[in-house]
Amino acid sequence: MSKFRARILVSLRPSVLDPAGEATKTAANQLGIKGLSKLRIGKSIDIDIDALNEEEAKKQIELLSDRLLANPVIEDWSMELLQVV
């Protein structure tokens, strides 16, 4: 078994309104931030997982992300996977 460390990023699909992101963008403008044209809020989930190999780890993380961490109706997800030595 090897240990893998992954960070899964969950974001609202581009077609879905992100009111929290919009509100934060308004606040950023009030702070005087220049040139900000997009601000969207997502989630970052850090996990450690033991698996035989990278392929197996990816499979498990895909299942986890598709079925639990993200709701595919409104969200997209991506992952960064690292092997922990």
CB 1 within 8 A of CB 52: yes
Cβ pair 13, 77 in contact under 8 A: no
Is 68 near other proteins (CB under 8 A)? yes
Q: Using the rule CB under 8 A, is 33 a contact of other proteins?
A: no
| 74 lines the binding site for other proteins (CB under 8 A) | yes
85 binds other proteins (CB under 8 A): no
Q: Give 39's DSSP letter.
A: -
Tokens of 35: 């040139």
Size of the site for other proteins (CB under 8 A): 13
With binding defined as CB under 8 A, does residue 17 bind other proteins? Answer: yes
> Is residue 73 at the binding interface for other proteins, with CB under 8 A as the rule?
yes
DSSP E strand boundaries for 1-85: 2-12, 42-51, 75-84
71 is a contact residue toward other proteins (CB under 8 A)? yes
Residue numbers at the binding site for other proteins (CB under 8 A): 12, 15-20, 23, 68-69, 71, 73-74
